[in-house]
Structure 1
Amino acid sequence: MIGIDLIKIDRMKRLIERFGDHALSKFLSDNEIALIKNPRTAAGFWAAKEACSKALGCGIGHECGFHDIILSKSSKGAPIITLTPKVQDAFKITHTSVSITHDGDYAIAVVALETSSKI
């Protein structure tokens, strides 16, 4: 299953300028917020979580919330995406992959999920 999302970086910049870390806490954990360097990074994280929910086929909502999707970084700085056990079990996810990129005014993320069987 594959999901993709695109966000204008300026949208995230305005959100942060208006509400600060409180805005970030709506979709990121404290550990994720610690990884945010600038609005570009925050926009990439937003896009990754949205792309993941699209790959699950449910969007952000009751079945999978923003905090059920966890972003971290590898030792080389590559993004890593994991799911809470609740979501991983419900959707039978066995492997996750994420790619985040920024170009000009936009951040884009693609998430691929593998399952153990059909959902």
Structure 2
Amino acid sequence: MIGIDLISVPRMERLLKKFGKKALLRFLCEKEIELVKNGTTASGFWAAKEAFSKALGTGIGADCSFHDIKIYKDKQGAPKIALSRRIIQKFDITQVALSITHDGEFAIAVVTLETSTSADKVKEF
């Protein structure tokens, strides 16, 4: 399954200016906040979590919250996704991949995920 999200960086910067760290705590944990360098990074993290929830097919809400998804960086600095045990088990997630990019005033994230269920196999005709 694939999810994608796009966010305006100035929109995130306005939120940060108005609410500061409180805005970040709405969708990030402390360790994620340590990785945020500016509004551009925060925008990418927001887009990543939204893209994951879209790939899942639920959106952000009761079935999957922002805090069920954690962004971290590997040794090379590439963004990765970690998930709560509840989400992994509830949706039988076996793999997840993330890509974040920024261009001008936008941040975009794409997430792919695989589950152990066969419901998403290609249908024959």
Same fold (TM over 0.5): yes
Instruction: State TM-score, norm by structure 1.
Output: 0.98
Distance (whole Å) between structure 1 residues aligned to residue 100 and residue 56 of structure 2: 18
Identity value in percent: 58
Q: Distance in 2 between matches of 1:118 and 1:33?
A: 36
How do 1:42-61 and structure 2 match up within 5 A? 42-61=42-61
Question: What CA distance in whole angstroms lies between the structure 2 residues aligned with 1:85 and 1:96?
Answer: 14
Q: Tell me, in whole angstroms, the C-alpha distance in 2 between the residues paired with 1:33 and 1:80.
A: 15
Q: Shift of the alpha carbon at 1:82?
A: 1.5
The answer to whether structure 1 residue 71 and structure 2 residue 90 are counterparts is no
In structure 1, the residue matched to 2:6 is 6
* Post-superposition offset of 1:37: 0.3
Aligned to 1:29: 29
For structure 1, the residue ranges without an aligned partner over 5 or more in a row are none
- Cα deviation, residue 44, structure 1: 0.1
Corresponding pairs, count: 119
Q: Could you tell me which residue of structure 2 aligns to residue 102 of structure 1? A: 102
SS in 2 for 1:70: strand
TM-score, normalised with respect to structure 2? 0.93
Unaligned runs of 5+ in 2: 120-125
Letter in 2 for 1:25: L
Query: What is the distance in 1 between the residues matched to 2:94 and 2:113?
Result: 8
What stretches of structure 1 move > 6 A for 4+ residues in a row? none
Amino acid at match of 1:109: A
Counterpart code for 2:74: S
Distance 2:27 2:78 in 1: 20
